[in-house]
Amino acid sequence: MRIIPAIDIIDGKCVRLSKGDYDTKKIYNEHPLEVAKEFEAHGIQYLHLVDLDGAKSKHIVNHKVLEQIASKTSLKIDFGGGLKTDEDLKIAFDSGANQITGGSIAVKDEATFKSWITKFGNEKIILGADAHNEKIAVSGWLEESDKALIPFIQEYQKEGIVYVICTDISKDGMLEGPSFELYKRILSETDNLKLIASGGISTFDELPKLAEIGCEGTIIGKAIYENRISLKQLEDYILNS
């Protein structure tokens, strides 16, 4: 299972929110590149980079941070937050993103999102399936849609989607453990899905459980920043996997 630390960006700084609420913002580092380099130094190869300013303003904002991390580390970066147009995607890929994540757009502008899958291929496009009470949430989680989570994923699988990041918003940033049962159910009701678990990871012991369920990757945010999971533990896990 791939270990994918998260860096969330507001005003160019590395922050974390709880349940997607911008009022809960906590700044962990003024320099995201330093954080990314530390991840890389511990054998981590992947990074989940979220442009929270972009999510709010509905277009890419922090592409300079992306460019800096991509050009000064060898991390493979998936980038998301406010990507709405072909131009946003061009900027993201030109700035060094290996993959992009589309969440709100996959709900609000299906035609555009489907065109990205066709144009860039399903290795480059990740479906962001963020849910509250198993209903898809959009616009930086500020709105709940009427779309049920699992049918939403199944529909996009028909369009070729392979990678899905699923965040249970009620768990995000709460350090109370991930939604094991939800991930089990998603994997039992889909075929050949590369499911990336996100939200709620709080202890190292949860990682082997997610791997056992069949998650292809897991995104870890606050647990790293609050020293609940050490980079040394992650380094050992990666070496021994």
- Measure the CA–CA gap between 7 and 34, rounded to whole angstroms: 11
Pairing of strands 21-29, 13-18: antiparallel
DSSP 3-state percent helix, strand, coil across the chain (nearest 5) = 40, 30, 30
Alpha-carbon span 149 to 129, nearest angstrom = 7
Q: Of 77, 98, 100, give the one whose Cα is nearest residue 88.
A: 100
DSSP class per residue in 208-228: HHHHHHT-SEEEE-HHHHTTS
Would you tell me the crossing angle of helices 32-41 and 63-72 to the nearest 10 degrees?
A: 30
Catalytic residue list: 8, 130
How far is CA 121 from each of CA 42, 61, 115, 118, 202, rounded to the nearest angstrom?
30, 24, 10, 6, 33
d(CA 164, CA 150): 11
Which conformational region is residue 112 in: left (phi greater than 0), alpha (psi within -120 to 50 degrees), or beta? alpha
Task: Please list, in sequence order, all residues whose beta carbon lies within 8 angstroms of the beta carbon of residue 33, skipping any fewer than 6 positions away.
Answer: 65, 68, 69, 72, 73
The span from the CA of 197 to the CA of 215, in Å, is: 7
